């Protein structure tokens, strides 16, 4: 989807500021449902629109509102018919609710408990203005690092070390780097920013080994004015917040999840991993460091064909529920899992880690439910938009189930599209095309009928004053404790219903 662009952050900030300042301003009411300015702006800006007119923003805005009205009219019908109690709808809404509950738990237990002191701000601001030039040596083991350090203490300069090709894995360097505050591992950062010029550190342990660094120089940025200082301070606070959230999250998860016990069928997991390795080999006979093997829905379909009845077997068992293999794999397929340069070992490690993450997230959801976060206003408000979207789709499904195509209609379609050889020569393509056309018209007629029997009020002034951008965007909501979801549900283009609306005295855009 290279044609889609993220909305610039400053633009989003201004739009959300407007939405927040007029949260409940109504644009349209349909019975007991209100389309507010906030919902309209969020959904217009945060999802891509089909055929949005960049040169005619007002027309695009009007068509988008008409499509939202169509969705809400279908929601009204779902309420009237009791279809909003559909089990498929319940399952879909429950999946979204669990994501929102987990995100709310993160906000309550992690984000809201983070504080940044004035001392930290001052120190961070000072360090963030200095880029430090360093030389460093690397040693794989503690013993190797101690040997290098002893040589330096005897007077050998760090930058003069030279290692033979016989020990490429034990030692590396010397090499140079620019250390920028906020981009360096915090452990190393604290060492570098406390060094004096030409001073060499003691060995510092990181995940991959031991490092010894020497400060060779630094470049200091001078802020031009208060505006620049405020912007830099915001960056500093962002770094501190991210780091503190990570620490707080680790502590919270270690405490909350320390006694959990989950049963995973290891035999089935091994079988899945072997099949994935085989699929990866077939998909990429030749691999390199840029090869990405995505665990997507297509991969799940291949596994479904290979594993057959095993897909329905219980795979993960919790104290409160269980997942079949099929459900687990479908969950994983939505997480954008990709293995780089896939080998059997890499696929196994990635799958096992993603499974562990999902199991942790399942327990965190239950923590959120026990705290009653599903009833919080934040979760309920966000969830209601998704519930209404799914309700509208349930009604569409009912309408589409009534559509039938006769042979005479197929022949007529082929006559109309006689220049389209695909339709003329392929009955399946022709049937799909006709089903789509009849479904669209049937849904438009249905919505028009509901509209004729509904009380619709359009607040023209409020709508005219609602500002939108011309940027087509796809925005994800990154969730607390990992994972992501679409920021808001997609609004399907649906403007044809206006042809079947008889209330011409009511003005709409």
**Is 60 exceeded by the pLDDT of residue 325?**
yes
Query: What does the pLDDT read at residue 22?
Result: 52
Instruction: For residue 375, give the DSSP letter.
Output: G
- Band of pLDDT at residue 84, cut at 50, 70 and 90: confident
Query: What does the pLDDT read at residue 50?
Result: 64
Q: Are residues 204 and 279 in the same domain?
A: no
- Residue 491: which residues within 8 A CB-CB, separation 6 or more? 43, 44, 47, 49, 64, 67, 68, 71
**Mind listing the pLDDT tens digit for each residue in 408-464?**
999 999 999 989 999 999 999 999 999 999 999 999 999 999 999 999 999 999 999
Query: What does the pLDDT read at residue 166?
Result: 57
Residue 459 lies in a domain: no
**Is 80 exceeded by the pLDDT of residue 53?**
no
Give the DSSP per-residue string, 488-509: S-------GGGGG---TTS---
Between CA 167 and CA 164 the distance in angstroms is 6
Strand order through the sheet with 130-139 = 171-180, 130-139, 209-220, 204-206
Residue 353 lies in a domain: yes
Q: Roughly how many angstroms between the first and final C-alpha of the chain, as a whole number?
A: 30
Domain extent, residue 165, equals: 130-220
Query: What does the pLDDT read at residue 364?
Result: 97
Cis peptide preceding 316, ω within 30 of 0: no
Residue 313 lies in a domain: yes
Residue 271 lies in a domain: yes
Q: What is the mean pLDDT of residues 98-115?
A: 97
**Is 70 exceeded by the pLDDT of residue 220?**
yes
Instruction: Specify the higher pLDDT residue, 16 or 362.
Output: 362
Which of 369, 402, 429 is where one domain is finished?
369
- State the chain's mean pLDDT as an integer: 91
Which of 352, 369, 386 is where one domain is finished?
369
Provide the domain count of the chain: 2
Between CA 401 and CA 391 the distance in angstroms is 16
Domain CATH for 134: 3.10.50.40
**Is 80 exceeded by the pLDDT of residue 293?**
yes
- Hey, what are 488's tokens? 């808001």
Q: Give one word for 101, left, alpha or beta, with left for phi > 0 and alpha for psi -120 to 50.
A: alpha
Query: What does the pLDDT read at residue 295?
Result: 96
Query: What does the pLDDT read at residue 86?
Result: 85
> Cβ-count burial of 446 within 10 angstroms (0-12 exposed, 13-18 middle, 19+ buried)?
buried
Query: What does the pLDDT read at residue 55?
Result: 63
Q: What is the mean pLDDT of residues 388-410?
A: 94
Q: Are residues 355 and 277 in the same domain?
A: yes
């Amino acid at each position: 989807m290279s044609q889609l662009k993220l909305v610039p952050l400053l633009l989003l900030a201004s739009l959300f500021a407007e939405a927040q300042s007029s949260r409940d301003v109504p644009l349209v009411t349909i019975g007991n449902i209100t389309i507010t300015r906030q919902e309209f702006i969020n959904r217009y800006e945060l999802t891509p629109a089909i055929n949005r007119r960049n040169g005619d923003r007002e027309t695009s805005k009007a068509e988008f509102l008409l499509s939202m009205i169509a969705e809400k009219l279908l929601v009204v019908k779902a309420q009237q018919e009791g279809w909003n109690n559909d089990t498929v709808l319940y399952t879909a809404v429950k999946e979204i609710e669990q994501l929102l509950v987990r995100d709310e738990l993160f906000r309550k237990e992690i984000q809201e408990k983070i504080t940044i002191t004035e001392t930290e701000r001052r120190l961070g601001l000072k360090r963030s203005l200095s880029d430090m030039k360093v030389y460093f040596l690397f040693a794989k083991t503690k013993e190797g690092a101690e040997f290098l350090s002893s040589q330096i203490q005897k007077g050998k300069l760090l930058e003069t070390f030279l290692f033979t090709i016989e020990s490429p894995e034990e030692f590396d360097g010397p090499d140079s780097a620019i250390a920028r505050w906020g981009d360096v591992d915090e452990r190393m950062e604290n060492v570098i920013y406390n060094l004096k010029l030409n001073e060499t550190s003691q060995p510092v342990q990181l995940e991959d080994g031991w490092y010894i660094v020497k400060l060779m120089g630094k470049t200091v940025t001078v802020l031009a004015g208060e505006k620049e200082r405020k912007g830099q301070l915001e960056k500093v606070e962002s770094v501190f917040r991210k780091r503190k959230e990570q620490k707080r999250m680790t502590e919270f998860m270690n405490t909350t999840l320390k006694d959990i016990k989950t049963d995973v069928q290891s035999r089935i997991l091994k079988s899945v991993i072997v099949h994935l390795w085989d699929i990866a080999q077939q998909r990429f006979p030749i691999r390199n460091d840029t090869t990405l093997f995505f665990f997507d829905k297509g991969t799940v379909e291949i596994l479904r064909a290979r594993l057959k009845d095993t897909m329905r077997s219980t795979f993960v068992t919790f104290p409160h529920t269980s997942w079949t293999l099929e459900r687990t794999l479908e969950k994983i397929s939505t997480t954008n899992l990709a293995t780089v340069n896939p080998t059997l070992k890499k696929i196994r490690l990635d799958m096992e880690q993603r499974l562990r993450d999902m199991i942790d997230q399942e327990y965190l959801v239950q923590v959120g439910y026990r705290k009653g976060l599903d009833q919080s206003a934040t979760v309920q408000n966000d969830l209601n938009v998704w519930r209404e979207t799914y309700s509208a789709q349930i009604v569409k499904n009912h309408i589409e189930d009534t559509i039938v195509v006769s042979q005479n209609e197929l022949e007529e379609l082929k006559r109309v599209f006689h220049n389209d050889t695909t339709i003329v020569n392929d009955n399946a393509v022709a049937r799909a095309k006709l089903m789509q056309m009849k479904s669209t018209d049937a849904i438009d007629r249905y919505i028009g009928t509901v509209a004729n029997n509904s009380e619709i009020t359009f607040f023209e002034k409020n709508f005219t004053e609602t500002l939108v951008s011309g940027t087509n965007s796809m925005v994800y909501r990154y969730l607390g404790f990992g994972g992501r979801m679409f920021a808001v549900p997609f609004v399907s283009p649906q403007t044809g219903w206006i042809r079947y609306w008889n209330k011409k005295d009511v003005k709409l855009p």
